[in-house]
Chains A and B, each alone.
Chain A
């Protein structure tokens, strides 16, 4: 118990369970889970939040988040979120999706959820590979990047160009707030938290569709150390996927 004069500066958010995650060391999912949990605690919405876990490394998110969570078929979290949110408009609904989930198999779902201006929050974790299936090319794999299905590096006219999701979704009228952040440094983690908090706040204020893309790491499949992975996010990924606000209808221009 705390004494009257003491106060907590740091502890596990109530929105996280005590379960140990399956994530590899240096993986960004854990950091991003924690940010979401802190934001939900700070906004006092844990008891009315419903999360949608993807098919991907974060598939077990319902074991880690201490609030209601459902699974969804690969790529379909925005459709599942639409069904939940339309039925329970005063609950806080968010999807948590990888790049394969959101930008390959689920491209139609994310575009149309944005087009309908669904009042949901999307956390888009871009780690440039298919983590769960052990490192194949993702729609966000950089040109030249080696993966298990691009062993000599990604070739644009054989494997296609990487897709910039924020830039694409910013063109959609129904999207309210689109921002890209990264997690390779403490200031960037703080920025990411600020963006995620804003996205949830917008949802609480019923403003509409928000997506935060977070440039994240996958040391295991990138065949890099955690430190090298952070460096890769900082340099290679951030130069092709520039962090920044791509759309914010809440800010008067």
Chain B
């Protein structure tokens, strides 16, 4: 395979995601500095012009997401990145993107919250990412990488899905992945950018296009909402991604995503060494949640331990997925706390 011959380079999560975007054919980036994703705009400020793309340091996250709205309306692959407080500011814009059915990619290097919180890794934006985030009846596809390589890969996938469904796609990583450096193979993606007949490019040779989310005639918005709801149903049917580890012969199933899943991976290795039959289910798409897959694997166990760097936001989705008689336990560290594998092992033994 061609892939074997590709040499690894050392990149941080921010850089890998930015490079993945560029190789996916992203030609527009607007962002605003916020720790722990500062490397993202810095990297883009150099790379975008090299690739004939546009880099803008916006005056705010609000402005950045609306610049992305404009670039996307013009038919260009466009993205922004930020961290939690900045993502909150983008929510109105993300809602408009969803309402107008415009593709866009938004990277969130999650930090501790609420409020200004702290600048350490966190997964506290799970609800915000998976439930819509802004106002209105809409969803954003949410991809959660667990290492730097996957951050590169999923950023590419994010652009594919955004164009396929004409919907904003989030990549939800955290301060750990953002800043950590790891070897990455920069696979040369095929830039399949679909034709965008709906884009605003000037009406030469066609009737004028308009992009809008306002439908004042009674019933028309209702119809529009049902239309995008059917699209979300299609996403649920077609786009679930997950990963399992040591799930063939298990007594206990750990469910965890992103950085936290990686720590669980270590904890499971420790547990297995002591004869405890633990396995890992890692959702890669947080929305659509791979519920049926989790349900199937959970058939084998009586106990599930959900581990997150928050107060237990994903527990809801696990409960919705599995049978009622499975005992669901939670171990978490909110506010920027990062659990050690030994802490998780202790919890595995306790329950």
Contacts and interface: CB of A to CB of B under 8 A. Distances in A.
B264 interface: no
A184 B117 CA distance: 53
A83 B210 contact: no
A67 to B, nearest CB: 5
A80 interface: yes
B204 A48 contact: yes
B76 A87 contact: yes
A52 B74 CA distance: 12
Contacts of B200: 50, 68-70, 84
B289 to A, nearest CB: 29
* Residue with the greatest number of chain A CB neighbours at <10 A, chosen from B59, B63, B64, B209: B63
B62 A87 contact: no
B209 A76 contact: no
B56 interface: yes
B198 to A, nearest CB: 10
Q: Is the interface of B mostly helix, strand, loop or mixed?
A: mixed
Contact of B203 (A68, A83, A86): A68
Contact of A76 (B27, B63, B214): B63
Contacts of B202: 47-50, 67-68, 88, 91-92
Nearest to B76: A87
A227 B209 CA distance: 37
A108 B89 CA distance: 14
Q: Is the interface of A mostly helix, strand, loop or mixed?
A: helix
B212 interface: yes
Contacts of A63: 210
B67 A79 contact: yes
Contacts of A109: 59, 62-63, 66
A91 B203 CA distance: 11
Contacts of A47: 202-205
Nearest to B102: A70
B213 interface: yes
A50 B211 CA distance: 11
A74 to B, nearest CB: 9
B68 interface: yes
B27 A71 contact: no
B211 A71 contact: yes
B247 interface: no
A47 B207 CA distance: 9
Interface in B80-130: 92-93, 96, 100
Closest 10 CB pairs of A and B: A83-B70, A79-B66, A48-B202, A62-B210, A80-B70, A83-B71, A47-B204, A76-B66, A83-B67, A112-B59
Interface of A: 46-50, 52, 59-60, 62-63, 65-73, 76, 79-88, 91-92, 108-109, 111-112, 116
23 contacts: A47-B202, A47-B204, A63-B210, A67-B208, A68-B209, A69-B211, A70-B200, A70-B212, A71-B210, A72-B96, A73-B93, A79-B58, A80-B66, A80-B67, A80-B70, A80-B73, A83-B66, A83-B71, A83-B73, A84-B71, A86-B28, A87-B74, A88-B201
Interface of B: 27-28, 30, 54, 56, 58-60, 62-64, 66-76, 78, 92-93, 96, 100, 200-205, 208-214
Given A47-B203, A71-B210, 13 more contacts: A52-B70, A62-B208, A69-B210, A69-B211, A70-B73, A73-B66, A73-B92, A73-B93, A79-B64, A83-B71, A91-B202, A108-B62, A112-B59
